[in-house]
Structure 1
Amino acid sequence: MQDTTAAGVLERHLFRPYFEYVEAVGFVLFRDLDTHWAGQNVWGALADVRDLKIILLDRRNRLERLVSLKKSLCDHVWYVGREDKRLRPHVELSVPLHELVVFIDRDLVNRAQFCDQFHGHDILPITYEELLATPEVVHARLLKFLGVSAAMLQSGTGKKEKAPVSAVVNNIDQLKSELSGTKYESYI
């Protein structure tokens, strides 16, 4: 019987032997989705890997994150390749204020719990916004953080939503108005 513990999965798929020219290996886990493997908390197993370096990719604009999540739940498209040219229908959403506030609160708590659990690890926080605005600068930070040779990094993924959030959320002005002056204002 194969080892299906979280530690076994990590050992088999991540910490296996690689060619000598491979300087770093990575994987993606969503903080609030990928919590258990084979009935075990994967975060506990990962926290035990003391030399694990973490790139914490985050989106400052939580409204955009919520819209992206809602659209992906509808169209079941979670990954878009860099060369993906398929035309996707324009979707317009109305986001209730209460739903946005609950989403922001839950996301901030989730992020704080993650950071607390991995406080002893090397963590490089990066936002989608800075990655899109200055990819070369972010790539240089990534290479330095990982301690790997300078190389030409090329993303294999594309941006799924090309329309600005203001073109998707039909009540964005109302949300901005109602959140103006609150602790949530900086997240939209």
Structure 2
Amino acid sequence: MRRTGRVVAYDQSEPAIACDIDRDVDTSSSKYSGNAPARKVWVEIDGTSSCARCARGDGCGQVFYDQRRARIQLLCRTVLPVKPSQRVTVVIDDANGRWLWLVAGAYGLPLAGLLAGAALGAPLASALGTGVAGMALGGLPAVHSSAMMGELSSVIGALAGLIGGLFAWRRFSQRHSRQIEKDLCLHTARIEVVSAESLETK
């Protein structure tokens, strides 16, 4: 995936990273050769453009919400000569599948909780017995009260499972997602192209 942005700052407090130059830049047009030290650079990614409907003026207005959101900054690495405010192109490799854990956690845990709660709700209602179900539903006939109690228990179980999945994702994200995102940005995001205008003015 490629995104454009501008250099915000570069980290001078940490030592340089050994980086394979062949992986980061086109050696045919680069003055570097062999291995070169890579600097950590903060890049502010450009916002996404509006969809076709918003461009026609009949969209949902999501573009205005996106404009109010905080700009996304990525911690990248580069061996190219860059300075703040330069326009660059950032390449994010998709070969490393660690980012899938973020997607699986955000969607998988709530969905798994919802399905598990719905599946366990009906058997739990049957275990309670039709007598308890009849009293809970105002003394309706046993057959109807049992069926209604089973459906109600499935709904309640699904909601409880969904809430439990969201809570589990919140706990997981607080512990792991920030570190995963940091590792992904550092290990897979790199600056590949620096705008020619910026290089000429350097």
Q: TM-score, normalization: structure 2?
A: 0.21
Q: Which is richer in strand? A: 2
The structure having more radius of gyration, on CA atoms, is 2
Bigger RCO (CA 8 Å, 6+ sep): 1
Q: Which is richer in helix? A: 2
